[in-house]
Chain A
Protein backbone atom coordinates (compact mmCIF):
# COMPACT_ATOMS: atom_id res chain seq x y z
CA UNK A 1 0.00 0.00 0.00
CA UNK A 2 1.11 3.55 -0.72
CA UNK A 3 2.48 5.36 2.33
CA UNK A 4 -0.28 7.45 3.86
CA UNK A 5 1.76 10.65 3.48
CA UNK A 6 2.18 9.99 -0.27
CA UNK A 7 -1.55 9.88 -1.05
CA UNK A 8 -3.25 12.57 -3.04
CA UNK A 9 -6.10 14.38 -1.27
CA UNK A 10 -8.59 12.67 -3.59
CA UNK A 11 -7.19 9.20 -2.80
CA UNK A 12 -7.04 9.96 0.93
CA UNK A 13 -10.74 10.90 0.88
CA UNK A 14 -11.55 7.62 -0.87
CA UNK A 15 -9.45 5.64 1.64
CA UNK A 16 -11.09 7.35 4.60
CA UNK A 17 -14.56 6.74 3.20
CA UNK A 18 -13.70 3.07 2.58
CA UNK A 19 -12.39 2.80 6.19
CA UNK A 20 -8.96 1.65 4.96
CA UNK A 21 -7.39 3.95 7.55
CA UNK A 22 -8.60 6.58 9.98
CA UNK A 23 -8.08 10.34 9.94
CA UNK A 24 -6.11 9.99 13.18
CA UNK A 25 -3.75 7.48 11.51
CA UNK A 26 -3.39 9.73 8.47
CA UNK A 27 -2.67 12.72 10.70
CA UNK A 28 -0.22 10.81 12.90
CA UNK A 29 1.69 9.65 9.79
CA UNK A 30 2.17 13.30 8.85
CA UNK A 31 3.18 14.35 12.37
CA UNK A 32 5.80 11.56 12.33
CA UNK A 33 7.10 12.69 8.93
CA UNK A 34 7.31 16.28 10.22
CA UNK A 35 9.31 15.14 13.24
CA UNK A 36 11.80 13.38 10.93
CA UNK A 37 12.38 16.37 8.62
CA UNK A 38 12.90 19.33 10.96
CA UNK A 39 16.03 20.22 8.97
CA UNK A 40 13.81 21.67 6.20
CA UNK A 41 12.44 24.28 8.62
CA UNK A 42 9.10 24.13 6.79
CA UNK A 43 6.90 24.65 9.85
CA UNK A 44 7.24 27.60 12.25
CA UNK A 45 5.07 25.78 14.76
CA UNK A 46 3.43 22.39 14.73
CA UNK A 47 -0.05 21.99 16.23
CA UNK A 48 -0.36 18.24 16.96
CA UNK A 49 -3.00 18.71 19.67
CA UNK A 50 -5.27 20.70 17.36
CA UNK A 51 -4.62 18.24 14.52
CA UNK A 52 -5.38 15.08 16.46
CA UNK A 53 -8.55 16.59 17.94
CA UNK A 54 -9.76 17.65 14.48
CA UNK A 55 -8.85 14.22 13.09
CA UNK A 56 -10.79 12.43 15.85
CA UNK A 57 -13.81 14.63 15.11
CA UNK A 58 -13.50 13.71 11.43
CA UNK A 59 -13.36 10.01 12.26
CA UNK A 60 -16.55 10.37 14.31
CA UNK A 61 -18.27 11.91 11.28
CA UNK A 62 -17.04 9.12 8.98
CA UNK A 63 -18.39 6.55 11.46
CA UNK A 64 -21.81 8.17 11.17
CA UNK A 65 -21.58 8.58 7.38
CA UNK A 66 -21.70 12.36 7.75
CA UNK A 67 -18.33 13.21 6.23
CA UNK A 68 -17.64 16.61 4.70
CA UNK A 69 -15.81 17.73 1.54
CA UNK A 70 -12.26 17.63 2.97
CA UNK A 71 -12.95 15.60 6.08
CA UNK A 72 -9.83 14.38 7.85
CA UNK A 73 -7.30 15.73 5.33
CA UNK A 74 -4.14 17.01 7.09
CA UNK A 75 -3.10 20.39 5.70
CA UNK A 76 -0.43 22.97 6.50
CA UNK A 77 -1.45 26.61 6.93
CA UNK A 78 0.85 29.40 5.79
CA UNK A 79 1.65 31.47 8.87
CA UNK A 80 0.08 34.52 7.28
CA UNK A 81 -3.45 33.27 8.03
CA UNK A 82 -4.72 34.25 11.47
CA UNK A 83 -5.71 31.15 13.42
CA UNK A 84 -7.72 31.57 16.59
CA UNK A 85 -5.70 30.65 19.66
CA UNK A 86 -2.63 29.64 17.62
CA UNK A 87 0.32 32.02 17.26
CA UNK A 88 0.52 33.85 13.93
CA UNK A 89 3.85 35.44 13.08
CA UNK A 90 3.96 36.35 9.37
CA UNK A 91 7.58 35.16 9.91
CA UNK A 92 8.31 38.54 11.49
CA UNK A 93 9.96 39.38 14.81
CA UNK A 94 7.50 42.27 15.15
CA UNK A 95 4.57 39.87 15.68
CA UNK A 96 6.29 38.12 18.59
CA UNK A 97 3.74 36.48 20.84
CA UNK A 98 0.71 37.43 18.74
CA UNK A 99 -2.17 34.98 19.23
CA UNK A 100 -5.19 35.97 17.12
CA UNK A 101 -8.54 36.05 18.92
CA UNK A 102 -10.23 35.26 15.58
CA UNK A 103 -9.97 32.88 12.63
CA UNK A 104 -9.39 33.91 9.00
CA UNK A 105 -12.29 33.28 6.64
CA UNK A 106 -10.29 30.90 4.43
CA UNK A 107 -9.22 28.68 7.35
CA UNK A 108 -12.72 28.87 8.82
CA UNK A 109 -14.05 27.44 5.56
CA UNK A 110 -11.38 24.72 5.38
CA UNK A 111 -12.19 23.65 8.95
CA UNK A 112 -15.94 23.83 8.19
CA UNK A 113 -15.25 21.22 5.50
CA UNK A 114 -13.32 18.98 7.91
CA UNK A 115 -9.67 19.84 7.12
CA UNK A 116 -7.05 19.14 9.80
CA UNK A 117 -4.36 21.74 10.64
CA UNK A 118 -0.90 20.21 11.14
CA UNK A 119 0.80 23.52 11.90
CA UNK A 120 1.77 26.97 10.65
CA UNK A 121 4.15 27.08 7.69
CA UNK A 122 7.24 29.22 7.26
CA UNK A 123 7.32 32.04 4.69
CA UNK A 124 9.23 35.16 3.74
CA UNK A 125 8.70 37.91 6.31
CA UNK A 126 5.28 39.45 5.60
CA UNK A 127 5.33 37.41 2.35
CA UNK A 128 8.00 39.71 0.93
CA UNK A 129 10.47 37.56 -0.98
CA UNK A 130 10.93 34.95 -3.67
CA UNK A 131 13.25 32.49 -1.94
CA UNK A 132 11.99 32.15 1.65
CA UNK A 133 15.24 33.58 2.96
CA UNK A 134 13.80 36.66 4.70
CA UNK A 135 11.95 34.77 7.46
CA UNK A 136 12.79 35.72 11.05
CA UNK A 137 12.60 31.97 11.71
CA UNK A 138 15.33 31.13 9.22
CA UNK A 139 15.27 29.96 5.60
CA UNK A 140 13.29 26.97 4.39
CA UNK A 141 15.32 24.30 2.60
CA UNK A 142 13.88 22.63 -0.49
CA UNK A 143 13.47 18.84 -0.29
CA UNK A 144 15.14 18.85 -3.72
CA UNK A 145 18.48 19.84 -2.13
CA UNK A 146 21.15 17.23 -2.86
CA UNK A 147 22.80 15.30 -0.01
CA UNK A 148 26.05 13.38 0.29
CA UNK A 149 26.25 9.77 1.42
CA UNK A 150 26.49 10.82 5.06
CA UNK A 151 23.14 12.55 4.72
CA UNK A 152 24.44 16.13 4.79
CA UNK A 153 23.22 18.70 2.31
CA UNK A 154 25.87 19.42 -0.34
CA UNK A 155 23.88 22.42 -1.59
CA UNK A 156 20.88 23.99 0.06
CA UNK A 157 18.30 24.98 -2.54
CA UNK A 158 15.57 27.53 -1.93
CA UNK A 159 11.94 26.34 -2.19
CA UNK A 160 10.94 29.70 -3.74
CA UNK A 161 8.83 32.22 -1.94
CA UNK A 162 7.06 33.65 -0.31
CA UNK A 163 5.01 30.47 0.31
CA UNK A 164 8.25 28.47 0.67
CA UNK A 165 7.22 26.49 3.75
CA UNK A 166 3.96 25.53 2.05
CA UNK A 167 5.81 24.41 -1.08
CA UNK A 168 8.48 22.44 0.81
CA UNK A 169 5.92 20.75 3.08
CA UNK A 170 3.67 19.60 0.23
CA UNK A 171 6.62 18.40 -1.89
CA UNK A 172 8.25 16.62 1.08
CA UNK A 173 4.99 14.85 2.01
CA UNK A 174 4.62 16.78 5.28
CA UNK A 175 1.04 17.78 4.38
CA UNK A 176 -1.43 16.62 1.73
CA UNK A 177 -1.89 20.24 0.73
CA UNK A 178 -1.26 23.73 2.06
CA UNK A 179 -2.63 27.22 1.88
CA UNK A 180 -0.55 29.87 0.16
CA UNK A 181 -0.93 33.52 -0.69
CA UNK A 182 0.19 35.21 -3.89
CA UNK A 183 0.89 38.93 -4.22
CA UNK A 184 3.37 38.77 -7.11
CA UNK A 185 3.88 35.04 -7.64
CA UNK A 186 4.19 33.70 -4.09
CA UNK A 187 2.09 30.60 -4.80
CA UNK A 188 3.09 29.86 -8.39
CA UNK A 189 6.88 30.43 -8.27
CA UNK A 190 7.49 28.16 -5.23
CA UNK A 191 5.11 25.56 -6.73
CA UNK A 192 7.30 25.59 -9.85
CA UNK A 193 10.54 25.35 -7.80
CA UNK A 194 9.47 22.21 -5.89
CA UNK A 195 7.36 20.47 -8.54
CA UNK A 196 3.84 20.89 -7.18
CA UNK A 197 0.60 22.55 -8.30
CA UNK A 198 -0.40 26.02 -7.10
CA UNK A 199 -3.20 28.30 -8.18
CA UNK A 200 -3.71 31.99 -7.51
CA UNK A 201 -7.42 32.58 -8.05
CA UNK A 202 -8.99 35.71 -9.47
CA UNK A 203 -8.70 38.70 -7.14
CA UNK A 204 -11.89 38.69 -5.07
CA UNK A 205 -12.44 34.92 -5.29
CA UNK A 206 -11.04 34.07 -1.82
CA UNK A 207 -11.67 36.32 1.14
CA UNK A 208 -8.64 38.23 2.43
CA UNK A 209 -10.24 38.66 5.87
CA UNK A 210 -7.89 37.47 8.59
CA UNK A 211 -4.87 37.18 6.29
CA UNK A 212 -2.00 39.44 7.38
CA UNK A 213 -2.04 42.13 4.67
CA UNK A 214 0.93 42.84 2.42
CA UNK A 215 -0.46 44.68 -0.65
CA UNK A 216 -4.23 44.70 -0.43
CA UNK A 217 -5.03 45.27 -4.11
CA UNK A 218 -2.84 42.31 -5.13
CA UNK A 219 -3.01 39.69 -2.33
CA UNK A 220 -4.96 36.49 -3.01
CA UNK A 221 -5.04 33.16 -1.18
CA UNK A 222 -4.94 29.83 -2.99
CA UNK A 223 -4.19 26.12 -2.60
CA UNK A 224 -0.85 24.34 -3.08
CA UNK A 225 -1.21 20.63 -3.76
CA UNK A 226 0.41 17.69 -5.54
CA UNK A 227 -2.24 17.31 -8.25
CA UNK A 228 -4.53 19.60 -10.21
CA UNK A 229 -7.55 17.67 -8.95
CA UNK A 230 -6.48 18.29 -5.34
CA UNK A 231 -6.13 22.01 -6.11
CA UNK A 232 -9.67 21.93 -7.53
CA UNK A 233 -11.03 20.26 -4.37
CA UNK A 234 -9.22 22.60 -1.99
CA UNK A 235 -10.02 25.79 -3.91
CA UNK A 236 -13.72 25.00 -3.79
CA UNK A 237 -13.58 25.09 0.02
CA UNK A 238 -11.36 28.19 0.22
CA UNK A 239 -13.34 30.30 -2.26
CA UNK A 240 -16.59 32.16 -1.82
CA UNK A 241 -18.18 35.47 -1.02
CA UNK A 242 -17.42 37.02 2.36
CA UNK A 243 -19.14 40.22 3.51
CA UNK A 244 -16.17 40.89 5.83
CA UNK A 245 -13.89 41.55 2.81
CA UNK A 246 -15.13 44.55 0.83
CA UNK A 247 -13.30 43.27 -2.29
CA UNK A 248 -14.79 39.79 -2.09
CA UNK A 249 -16.98 39.09 -5.12
CA UNK A 250 -20.44 37.57 -4.78
CA UNK A 251 -20.40 34.98 -7.57
CA UNK A 252 -21.13 31.24 -7.32
CA UNK A 253 -18.19 28.86 -6.76
CA UNK A 254 -18.34 26.07 -9.33
CA UNK A 255 -17.46 22.41 -8.77
CA UNK A 256 -13.90 22.76 -10.09
CA UNK A 257 -13.13 19.03 -10.01
CA UNK A 258 -16.05 18.44 -12.38
CA UNK A 259 -14.36 20.74 -14.90
CA UNK A 260 -11.37 18.39 -15.29
CA UNK A 261 -12.78 16.61 -18.32
CA UNK A 262 -9.60 16.56 -20.40
CA UNK A 263 -11.57 18.02 -23.28
CA UNK A 264 -9.89 21.17 -24.55
CA UNK A 265 -10.75 20.73 -28.23
CA UNK A 266 -11.11 24.08 -29.95
CA UNK A 267 -9.70 26.04 -27.01
CA UNK A 268 -7.46 28.92 -28.11
CA UNK A 269 -4.20 29.10 -26.17
CA UNK A 270 -2.44 32.47 -26.27
CA UNK A 271 1.36 32.44 -26.49
CA UNK A 272 2.64 35.90 -25.55
CA UNK A 273 5.71 36.80 -27.59
CA UNK A 274 6.93 39.26 -24.93
CA UNK A 275 7.55 36.38 -22.50
CA UNK A 276 10.65 35.35 -24.48
CA UNK A 277 12.90 37.39 -22.23
CA UNK A 278 16.61 37.97 -22.74
CA UNK A 279 18.79 35.43 -21.04
CA UNK A 280 16.01 32.90 -20.49
CA UNK A 281 17.61 29.43 -20.33
CA UNK A 282 17.09 27.29 -23.45
CA UNK A 283 15.58 24.51 -21.30
CA UNK A 284 12.74 26.81 -20.22
CA UNK A 285 12.03 27.76 -23.83
CA UNK A 286 12.07 24.06 -24.71
CA UNK A 287 9.63 23.20 -21.94
CA UNK A 288 7.31 25.97 -23.09
CA UNK A 289 7.34 24.58 -26.65
CA UNK A 290 6.66 21.13 -25.24
CA UNK A 291 3.64 22.52 -23.38
CA UNK A 292 2.32 24.06 -26.60
CA UNK A 293 2.73 20.70 -28.37
CA UNK A 294 0.88 18.86 -25.58
CA UNK A 295 -2.09 21.23 -25.77
CA UNK A 296 -2.11 21.03 -29.58
CA UNK A 297 -2.15 17.25 -29.41
CA UNK A 298 -5.19 17.51 -27.12
CA UNK A 299 -7.04 19.55 -29.74
CA UNK A 300 -6.32 23.13 -28.64
CA UNK A 301 -5.15 25.84 -31.02
CA UNK A 302 -2.09 27.93 -30.16
CA UNK A 303 -2.43 31.64 -31.04
CA UNK A 304 0.41 34.14 -30.91
CA UNK A 305 -0.63 37.13 -28.83
CA UNK A 306 1.03 40.34 -27.69
CA UNK A 307 1.13 41.74 -24.17
CA UNK A 308 3.19 44.83 -25.05
CA UNK A 309 3.60 46.23 -21.53
CA UNK A 310 4.95 43.04 -19.97
CA UNK A 311 8.41 44.47 -19.22
CA UNK A 312 6.85 47.30 -17.21
CA UNK A 313 4.89 44.96 -14.91
CA UNK A 314 7.74 44.38 -12.44
CA UNK A 315 8.72 48.03 -11.97
CA UNK A 316 5.03 49.01 -11.64
CA UNK A 317 4.63 46.24 -9.07
CA UNK A 318 7.65 47.46 -7.11
CA UNK A 319 5.94 50.82 -6.67
CA UNK A 320 2.35 49.68 -6.06
CA UNK A 321 3.16 46.79 -3.70
CA UNK A 322 5.60 48.69 -1.42
CA UNK A 323 3.23 51.68 -1.33
CA UNK A 324 0.38 49.51 -0.09
CA UNK A 325 2.75 47.64 2.25
CA UNK A 326 4.03 50.84 3.83
CA UNK A 327 0.45 51.75 4.64
CA UNK A 328 -0.61 48.27 5.82
CA UNK A 329 2.47 47.80 7.99
CA UNK A 330 1.98 51.13 9.75
CA UNK A 331 -0.11 49.22 12.30
CA UNK A 332 2.97 47.51 13.75
CA UNK A 333 4.00 50.10 16.29
CA UNK A 334 4.39 48.22 19.57
CA UNK A 335 1.12 49.48 21.04
CA UNK A 336 -1.61 46.93 20.42
CA UNK A 337 0.17 43.62 19.73
CA UNK A 338 3.53 42.02 19.11
CA UNK A 339 6.96 43.35 19.93
CA UNK A 340 7.51 46.59 21.90
CA UNK A 341 10.94 48.16 22.28
CA UNK A 342 10.84 51.04 24.75
CA UNK A 343 12.16 54.51 23.98
CA UNK A 344 12.40 57.87 25.74
CA UNK A 345 9.01 58.90 24.35
CA UNK A 346 6.19 57.51 22.21
CA UNK A 347 7.83 58.40 18.90
CA UNK A 348 11.10 56.77 19.85
CA UNK A 349 9.20 53.70 21.01
CA UNK A 350 7.65 53.43 17.53
CA UNK A 351 11.02 53.90 15.84
CA UNK A 352 12.85 51.44 18.08
CA UNK A 353 10.10 48.83 17.80
CA UNK A 354 10.02 49.02 14.02
CA UNK A 355 13.81 49.11 13.67
CA UNK A 356 14.20 45.93 15.71
CA UNK A 357 11.01 44.19 14.61
CA UNK A 358 11.30 44.39 10.81
CA UNK A 359 13.97 42.63 8.74
CA UNK A 360 16.06 44.30 6.02
CA UNK A 361 13.83 43.49 3.03
CA UNK A 362 10.65 44.61 4.80
CA UNK A 363 12.32 47.88 5.85
CA UNK A 364 13.53 48.45 2.29
CA UNK A 365 10.01 48.03 0.93
CA UNK A 366 8.40 50.21 3.61
CA UNK A 367 10.93 52.94 2.81
CA UNK A 368 10.31 52.68 -0.96
CA UNK A 369 6.58 52.80 -0.32
CA UNK A 370 6.88 55.77 2.03
CA UNK A 371 9.00 57.60 -0.53
CA UNK A 372 6.69 57.07 -3.52
CA UNK A 373 3.68 58.16 -1.48
CA UNK A 374 5.37 61.22 0.00
CA UNK A 375 4.54 64.77 -1.00
CA UNK A 376 6.15 65.75 -4.28
CA UNK A 377 6.71 62.18 -5.52
CA UNK A 378 3.18 60.77 -5.44
CA UNK A 379 2.32 61.76 -9.03
CA UNK A 380 5.70 60.92 -10.51
CA UNK A 381 5.85 57.42 -9.05
CA UNK A 382 2.65 56.12 -7.49
CA UNK A 383 0.13 57.62 -9.90
CA UNK A 384 2.35 56.76 -12.86
CA UNK A 385 2.59 53.13 -11.71
CA UNK A 386 -1.18 52.93 -11.34
CA UNK A 387 -1.60 54.19 -14.89
CA UNK A 388 0.91 51.65 -16.18
CA UNK A 389 -1.03 49.02 -14.24
CA UNK A 390 -4.15 50.05 -16.18
CA UNK A 391 -2.30 49.55 -19.46
CA UNK A 392 -1.08 46.09 -18.39
CA UNK A 393 -4.66 45.08 -17.51
CA UNK A 394 -5.81 46.44 -20.88
CA UNK A 395 -3.20 44.24 -22.64
CA UNK A 396 -4.89 41.17 -21.14
CA UNK A 397 -8.40 42.35 -22.01
CA UNK A 398 -7.33 42.72 -25.65
CA UNK A 399 -5.50 39.38 -25.64
CA UNK A 400 -8.60 37.57 -24.38
CA UNK A 401 -10.44 38.69 -27.52
CA UNK A 402 -8.10 36.31 -29.38
CA UNK A 403 -7.61 33.47 -26.89
CA UNK A 404 -9.24 31.67 -23.96
CA UNK A 405 -6.18 30.97 -21.81
CA UNK A 406 -2.51 31.99 -21.91
CA UNK A 407 0.44 29.59 -21.55
CA UNK A 408 3.84 30.77 -20.25
CA UNK A 409 6.70 29.42 -18.17
CA UNK A 410 6.09 30.02 -14.44
CA UNK A 411 9.58 31.27 -13.59
CA UNK A 412 12.66 32.21 -15.63
CA UNK A 413 14.83 29.58 -13.90
CA UNK A 414 14.81 26.47 -11.73
CA UNK A 415 15.48 26.76 -7.98
CA UNK A 416 18.80 28.32 -6.95
CA UNK A 417 20.93 27.93 -3.85
CA UNK A 418 20.44 29.75 -0.56
CA UNK A 419 22.80 32.72 -0.58
CA UNK A 420 22.70 33.19 -4.36
CA UNK A 421 21.07 36.31 -5.89
CA UNK A 422 21.43 37.97 -2.49
CA UNK A 423 23.58 40.96 -3.44
CA UNK A 424 21.20 42.57 -5.89
CA UNK A 425 17.54 43.03 -4.90
CA UNK A 426 16.53 43.41 -8.54
CA UNK A 427 18.01 40.03 -9.54
CA UNK A 428 15.79 38.51 -6.86
CA UNK A 429 12.74 40.50 -8.02
CA UNK A 430 13.19 39.12 -11.57
CA UNK A 431 12.04 35.70 -10.32
CA UNK A 432 8.52 37.04 -10.56
CA UNK A 433 8.75 38.45 -14.08
CA UNK A 434 6.17 35.98 -15.48
CA UNK A 435 3.86 35.88 -12.46
CA UNK A 436 3.46 39.56 -11.47
CA UNK A 437 1.32 40.65 -14.48
CA UNK A 438 -1.56 38.36 -13.38
CA UNK A 439 -1.58 40.02 -9.94
CA UNK A 440 -1.64 43.51 -11.43
CA UNK A 441 -4.57 42.50 -13.67
CA UNK A 442 -6.27 40.40 -10.97
CA UNK A 443 -6.37 37.27 -13.18
CA UNK A 444 -6.27 33.60 -12.14
CA UNK A 445 -2.98 31.77 -12.71
CA UNK A 446 -1.90 28.19 -12.15
CA UNK A 447 1.55 26.59 -12.06
CA UNK A 448 1.73 22.90 -12.97
CA UNK A 449 4.87 20.72 -12.95
CA UNK A 450 5.91 20.01 -16.54
CA UNK A 451 9.41 18.54 -16.42
CA UNK A 452 12.93 18.83 -15.05
CA UNK A 453 15.85 21.12 -15.76
CA UNK A 454 19.22 19.81 -16.95
CA UNK A 455 20.23 19.69 -13.28
CA UNK A 456 17.20 17.52 -12.49
CA UNK A 457 15.18 20.25 -10.76
CA UNK A 458 11.44 20.83 -11.31
CA UNK A 459 10.14 23.38 -13.80
CA UNK A 460 6.55 24.56 -14.04
CA UNK A 461 4.32 25.94 -16.75
CA UNK A 462 1.83 28.69 -16.02
CA UNK A 463 -1.75 28.84 -17.30
CA UNK A 464 -3.51 32.22 -17.02
CA UNK A 465 -7.25 32.63 -17.52
CA UNK A 466 -10.06 35.13 -17.76
CA UNK A 467 -11.44 36.65 -14.55
CA UNK A 468 -13.34 34.03 -12.50
CA UNK A 469 -12.56 31.31 -15.04
CA UNK A 470 -10.46 29.16 -12.71
CA UNK A 471 -12.39 26.15 -14.06
CA UNK A 472 -10.83 26.45 -17.53
CA UNK A 473 -7.39 27.20 -16.05
CA UNK A 474 -7.60 24.01 -13.98
CA UNK A 475 -8.89 22.02 -16.97
CA UNK A 476 -5.90 23.08 -19.09
CA UNK A 477 -3.50 22.47 -16.20
CA UNK A 478 -4.93 18.97 -15.84
CA UNK A 479 -4.27 18.25 -19.53
CA UNK A 480 -0.63 19.37 -19.10
CA UNK A 481 -0.32 17.25 -15.95
CA UNK A 482 -1.61 14.16 -17.78
CA UNK A 483 0.63 14.77 -20.80
CA UNK A 484 3.73 15.33 -18.66
CA UNK A 485 3.09 12.06 -16.84
CA UNK A 486 4.26 11.07 -13.36
CA UNK A 487 7.05 13.34 -12.10
CA UNK A 488 9.98 12.12 -9.99
CA UNK A 489 9.88 12.58 -6.22
CA UNK A 490 12.27 14.95 -4.47
CA UNK A 491 15.41 13.10 -3.28
CA UNK A 492 14.44 13.59 0.36
CA UNK A 493 11.37 11.34 0.01
CA UNK A 494 12.29 9.01 -2.84
Chain B
Protein backbone atom coordinates (compact mmCIF):
# COMPACT_ATOMS: atom_id res chain seq x y z
CA UNK B 1 0.00 0.00 0.00
CA UNK B 2 1.31 3.37 -0.93
CA UNK B 3 1.82 5.79 1.92
CA UNK B 4 0.19 9.14 1.70
CA UNK B 5 1.06 12.06 3.86
CA UNK B 6 -1.76 14.17 5.16
CA UNK B 7 -1.43 17.36 3.20
CA UNK B 8 -2.17 20.84 4.46
CA UNK B 9 -3.90 21.64 1.20
CA UNK B 10 -7.12 23.56 1.68
CA UNK B 11 -9.65 24.60 -0.91
CA UNK B 12 -11.89 27.65 -0.82
CA UNK B 13 -15.50 26.81 -1.69
CA UNK B 14 -18.17 29.37 -2.32
CA UNK B 15 -21.74 28.35 -3.07
CA UNK B 16 -25.25 29.76 -2.88
CA UNK B 17 -27.03 27.65 -0.28
CA UNK B 18 -30.78 28.18 0.09
CA UNK B 19 -30.41 31.59 -1.54
CA UNK B 20 -27.55 32.75 0.71
CA UNK B 21 -23.94 32.90 -0.41
CA UNK B 22 -21.80 30.76 1.88
CA UNK B 23 -18.10 30.03 1.85
CA UNK B 24 -15.71 27.72 3.62
CA UNK B 25 -12.17 26.45 3.39
CA UNK B 26 -11.98 22.68 3.39
CA UNK B 27 -9.71 19.69 2.87
CA UNK B 28 -9.86 18.39 -0.72
CA UNK B 29 -11.44 15.15 0.46
CA UNK B 30 -14.33 16.89 2.19
CA UNK B 31 -17.65 15.65 0.85
CA UNK B 32 -20.49 18.02 0.04
CA UNK B 33 -22.62 16.44 2.77
CA UNK B 34 -19.90 17.27 5.33
CA UNK B 35 -19.63 20.83 4.05
CA UNK B 36 -23.36 21.29 4.51
CA UNK B 37 -23.62 19.64 7.92
CA UNK B 38 -20.31 20.42 9.61
CA UNK B 39 -19.31 23.76 8.08
CA UNK B 40 -22.71 25.31 7.42
CA UNK B 41 -24.64 23.63 10.25
CA UNK B 42 -27.40 22.45 7.92
CA UNK B 43 -28.03 19.11 9.60
CA UNK B 44 -31.35 18.49 7.86
CA UNK B 45 -29.30 16.73 5.18
CA UNK B 46 -28.75 13.26 6.59
CA UNK B 47 -25.97 10.78 6.07
CA UNK B 48 -27.15 7.21 5.69
CA UNK B 49 -25.13 4.59 3.84
CA UNK B 50 -22.40 6.99 2.64
CA UNK B 51 -21.92 4.78 -0.42
CA UNK B 52 -24.45 6.32 -2.76
CA UNK B 53 -27.23 3.80 -2.30
CA UNK B 54 -29.73 5.24 0.16
CA UNK B 55 -30.40 8.83 -0.89
CA UNK B 56 -30.77 10.24 2.65
CA UNK B 57 -28.19 12.92 1.75
CA UNK B 58 -30.08 14.08 -1.37
CA UNK B 59 -29.95 17.83 -2.04
CA UNK B 60 -30.59 19.89 -5.16
CA UNK B 61 -27.68 21.28 -7.19
CA UNK B 62 -28.93 23.80 -9.72
CA UNK B 63 -32.38 22.29 -9.25
CA UNK B 64 -31.43 18.65 -9.84
CA UNK B 65 -31.43 15.94 -7.16
CA UNK B 66 -27.98 14.58 -6.33
CA UNK B 67 -26.49 12.56 -3.48
CA UNK B 68 -24.28 14.90 -1.49
CA UNK B 69 -22.12 12.06 -0.15
CA UNK B 70 -21.06 11.33 -3.74
CA UNK B 71 -19.85 14.84 -4.60
CA UNK B 72 -16.77 16.60 -3.30
CA UNK B 73 -17.29 19.95 -1.60
CA UNK B 74 -14.73 21.31 -4.06
CA UNK B 75 -16.98 20.29 -6.95
CA UNK B 76 -19.82 22.38 -5.53
CA UNK B 77 -17.85 25.62 -5.84
CA UNK B 78 -20.03 28.19 -7.59
CA UNK B 79 -23.23 26.14 -7.74
CA UNK B 80 -26.68 26.75 -6.28
CA UNK B 81 -27.68 24.29 -3.58
CA UNK B 82 -31.08 23.71 -2.01
CA UNK B 83 -31.24 21.68 1.19
CA UNK B 84 -34.37 20.72 3.14
CA UNK B 85 -33.92 23.90 5.20
CA UNK B 86 -34.44 25.90 2.00
CA UNK B 87 -37.60 24.20 0.75
CA UNK B 88 -39.85 26.58 2.71
CA UNK B 89 -39.11 29.61 4.89
CA UNK B 90 -38.38 28.93 8.58
CA UNK B 91 -41.58 28.09 10.46
CA UNK B 92 -43.56 27.27 7.34
CA UNK B 93 -44.35 24.06 5.49
CA UNK B 94 -43.95 23.73 1.73
CA UNK B 95 -46.97 22.14 -0.02
CA UNK B 96 -44.85 19.01 -0.55
CA UNK B 97 -44.13 18.87 3.20
CA UNK B 98 -47.81 19.47 3.97
CA UNK B 99 -48.76 16.62 1.63
CA UNK B 100 -46.37 14.19 3.35
CA UNK B 101 -47.75 15.29 6.73
CA UNK B 102 -51.39 14.83 5.72
CA UNK B 103 -50.84 11.54 3.86
CA UNK B 104 -48.52 9.97 6.45
CA UNK B 105 -45.65 9.81 3.95
CA UNK B 106 -43.09 9.32 6.71
CA UNK B 107 -42.60 7.38 9.90
CA UNK B 108 -39.15 7.71 11.47
CA UNK B 109 -38.35 10.60 9.13
CA UNK B 110 -34.71 9.80 8.51
CA UNK B 111 -35.07 9.49 4.74
CA UNK B 112 -37.66 12.25 4.48
CA UNK B 113 -35.47 15.29 3.65
CA UNK B 114 -34.02 13.40 0.69
CA UNK B 115 -37.41 12.11 -0.42
CA UNK B 116 -38.88 15.62 -0.30
CA UNK B 117 -36.09 17.09 -2.41
CA UNK B 118 -36.30 14.27 -4.98
CA UNK B 119 -40.04 14.96 -5.09
CA UNK B 120 -39.44 18.68 -5.61
CA UNK B 121 -37.16 17.96 -8.57
CA UNK B 122 -39.62 15.43 -10.03
CA UNK B 123 -42.60 17.78 -9.82
CA UNK B 124 -40.63 20.61 -11.40
CA UNK B 125 -39.92 18.45 -14.48
CA UNK B 126 -43.18 16.54 -14.45
CA UNK B 127 -46.03 18.27 -12.55
CA UNK B 128 -48.48 15.36 -13.09
CA UNK B 129 -46.47 12.14 -12.70
CA UNK B 130 -48.23 8.77 -12.66
CA UNK B 131 -47.41 6.12 -10.08
CA UNK B 132 -44.75 4.43 -12.25
CA UNK B 133 -43.01 7.77 -12.85
CA UNK B 134 -43.09 8.58 -9.14
CA UNK B 135 -41.59 5.24 -8.16
CA UNK B 136 -38.93 5.59 -10.87
CA UNK B 137 -37.98 9.10 -9.76
CA UNK B 138 -37.74 8.04 -6.09
CA UNK B 139 -35.81 4.84 -6.76
CA UNK B 140 -32.69 6.44 -5.31
CA UNK B 141 -34.33 7.15 -1.95
CA UNK B 142 -34.59 4.17 0.33
CA UNK B 143 -37.27 4.20 3.06
CA UNK B 144 -37.26 1.36 5.56
CA UNK B 145 -40.50 2.32 7.32
CA UNK B 146 -43.34 3.17 5.00
CA UNK B 147 -43.20 0.51 2.30
CA UNK B 148 -43.46 3.48 -0.11
CA UNK B 149 -47.23 3.29 -0.53
CA UNK B 150 -47.91 6.43 1.49
CA UNK B 151 -44.93 8.16 -0.10
CA UNK B 152 -46.48 7.67 -3.55
CA UNK B 153 -49.83 8.94 -2.24
CA UNK B 154 -48.05 11.95 -0.70
CA UNK B 155 -46.32 12.83 -3.98
CA UNK B 156 -49.66 12.63 -5.81
CA UNK B 157 -51.20 14.89 -3.17
CA UNK B 158 -48.24 17.29 -3.45
CA UNK B 159 -48.74 17.45 -7.23
CA UNK B 160 -52.39 18.40 -6.71
CA UNK B 161 -51.51 21.02 -4.10
CA UNK B 162 -48.91 22.63 -6.35
CA UNK B 163 -51.24 22.46 -9.36
CA UNK B 164 -53.93 24.41 -7.49
CA UNK B 165 -51.35 27.01 -6.46
CA UNK B 166 -50.77 26.20 -2.79
CA UNK B 167 -47.98 28.24 -1.21
CA UNK B 168 -45.84 27.56 1.89
CA UNK B 169 -47.95 28.16 4.98
CA UNK B 170 -47.43 28.41 8.74
CA UNK B 171 -47.16 25.12 10.57
A, B in one complex = no
Q: Which residues on B are within 8 Å of A, measured CB to CB?
A: none
